[in-house]
Amino acid sequence: MAATGGAGRPEKRGAIMRAAAVVFGREGYVRAGMDAIAAEAGVSKRTVYNHFPDKETLFLSVALRNSAELAQLIGELMARHLGRVVDLRQSLIDFAVERARAVLSAGERGEHGALGRAIRAEVANIPADVLEAWLDAGPAASQRELAAHFEALGERGLLAAEDAGLAAEQFTLLTFHGIAERSFWGALPVAGEEAARIAAAGVDAFLRIHGAPRR
């Protein structure tokens, strides 16, 4: 795997990474050029190369930061909605809606959603090690954390999922992907009421599979 950066002033490095997130999200991995990133950051192309030796290294750095930010945010949402559950169905719906909003439109200017769309659109063109690192640091990490929450809910008798990892995967398919597809992965807005409807339908289907039997 390529190294994730070089020496240089931290504020310049941060500006370059923010600019790169915008350019990669707007133009994709293949079309994005170091000239455009330098212009977006307001620095010279030489300055960009002083911090990042090539486009792959810069993209990996941006993708990993993107994943870490999203994983942290989603972890906070899980803790808020799934850590102290009173109404399981409503907690799952609220988490699903907020997670979709976070993944599809997070970031000051929506860079998280845009970068995620670029990665999915150009998956065949992105170096395999970069893609694997992005998945492990972001989507896979969030799924592992969700599985842990489902295990805890099972221990409390609120869920009946023999395989918490599989349950987490099914929950995501049922409650997130419908919103993602409807919005073209954040490119178009989805009304809050519609997102809540999709999430609620998915949660109801999930609970029919994994809900604990009523006593």
User: Backbone dihedral region of 28: left (phi > 0), alpha (psi from -120 to 50 degrees) or beta?
Assistant: left
Q: How far apart are CA 149 and CA 146, in angstroms?
A: 5
Q: 42-94: per-residue pLDDT in tens?
A: 999 999 999 999 999 999 999 999 888 889 999 999 999 999 999 999 999 99
Dihedrals phi, psi of 159, to nearest 5 degrees: -130, 155
Torsion region of 41: left, alpha or beta (phi above 0 gives left; psi -120 to 50 gives alpha): alpha
Q: What is the mean pLDDT of residues 151-158?
A: 96
Q: How many CB atoms lie within 10 A of CB 1?
A: 12
Q: What is the mean pLDDT of residues 97-111?
A: 74
The answer to whether 98 and 81 are in contact (CB under 8 A) is yes
Judge contact between 13 and 5, C-beta under 8 A: yes
Going by the DSSP 8-state scheme, the letter that residue 9 receives in this structure is -
Is the pLDDT at 128 greater than 70, yes or no? yes
Dihedral sign of CA atoms 64, 67, 72, 75 in order: negative
The structural domains of the chain, ordered by start, are: 66-210 (1.10.357.10)
Do the Cβ atoms of 37 and 16 come closer than 8 Å?
Answer: yes
The model's pLDDT over 164-178, given as tens digits with 9 standing for 90+, comes to: 999 999 999 999 999
What pLDDT shows up at residue 76? 97
Mean pLDDT is lowest, of 4-8, 58-62, 131-135, for 4-8
